[in-house]
Amino acid sequence: MANLFNTVLYTPLYNALIFLVNILPGTSMGLAIISLTIIVKSALLPFAHKSVKTQAKIREIDPHIKAIKAQNIPDKQEEARQVMELYKQHGVNPFSGCLLFLIQIPIIFALYWVFLKGLPNNPDILYSFVSLPDNINTNFLGFIDIGKKSILLALLAGISQFFQIKLSMPSLGADVDKNTPKTFKDELAKSMSMQMRYVMPIVVAVVAYTISSAVALYWVTSNVFSIGHELLVKRKAKSIAGTNNN
C-alpha cells in the first residue's frame, strides 16, 4: 500500500514541486508551494464543487428535516423514510459527500506530505526530465524562511481555517425552534459544531507553527482557495433563488 501511495501520488507531486521551483521566477519555494496547491485544488474542483453543492442543499432543507423530527414519530423507520423521501424530492444524495471526501483524502494527504518533507531531500525519486535546482530560494515575501517556522503564517493558517469552517457550516443558531426540547443528539451535534468552529483553527495554527512554514503556507493557500469556492457557490445559489422568485 505504501509503495502504491508513493508511486501514484507522493512521487508525482514531489516531482511537480521541484519542476515548479525550476520554472518559477527566482526558483522560489514559496511560489512553488502556492502554485502546486492551486493546481491540485483546481484538479479536485469538480469533486469539491459537487460536495459543496450537496452540503448547501442539505442546509437548505434542514428546516424541513427538523420539522419531521419534531413530530416525534414513534416508528423511527417511518421517520427515516420520510427524511429520505425529502432528500429524493430535492435531488440530494446525503452519502455522496462522504464518497467525494474519501476520493480527495489520499491526494490532499500526499500533497501535505510533500510539504511536510520540506526542502528537496530525495533526488533519487526525481524523474529523468526533472532536475534538482542548483539554488532554491526559501525566502518568501522577503522576510519568511519557508524552511523554518513562521508565527505569521501559522496565525494566517488558523484565521483562514476559521473563516473556511464558518462558511461551510450552518450558523449555530440557525433554524432553532426554542419550543422544541433538545435531545442528547442535538446537544452533541451543537458541541461538535462549536469545537469544529473554534477549536479546529487553533489546532491548525499550532500544528502549522510546530511543523514548518511550508505546511503553514499550504494551509493558507488551500483555505483561501476553499473560501473563494464557497463564496462563489453561495453567490450562484442566491442568484438562482432570486431568478426563481421573480
Under the banding of pLDDT at 50, 70 and 90, the label for residue 176 is: very low
72: exposed, middle or buried (C-beta count within 10 Å: 0-12, 13-18, 19+)?
A: exposed
- Of the pLDDT bands very low, low, confident and very high (cuts 50, 70, 90), residue 75 is confident
Distance CA 27, CA 14 (A): 15
Can you give the pLDDT at residue 39? 92
Closest CA to 51 of 20, 96, 7, 6: 96
Per residue in 225-236, pLDDT tens? 989 888 887 776
148: exposed, middle or buried (C-beta count within 10 Å: 0-12, 13-18, 19+)? Answer: exposed
Q: Where are the domains of the chain?
A: 2-245
Q: pLDDT of 7-62, one tens digit each?
A: 888 889 889 989 999 999 888 889 999 999 999 888 878 777 676 677 767 777 77
DSSP assignment, residue 150? -
CB 119 within 8 A of CB 147: yes
Q: What is the mean pLDDT of the chain?
A: 78
* Helices and strands, number each (H, E), in the chain: 10, 2
Cβ count near 74 (within 10 Å): 7
Predicted TM-score (pTM) of this structure: 0.73
Between CA 32 and CA 13 the distance in angstroms is 11
Q: Give the whole-angstrom CA distance, residue 165 versus residue 220.
A: 13
Decide if pLDDT at 140 tops 90: no
Q: What does residue 139 show for φ and ψ, rounded to 5 degrees? A: -85, 120
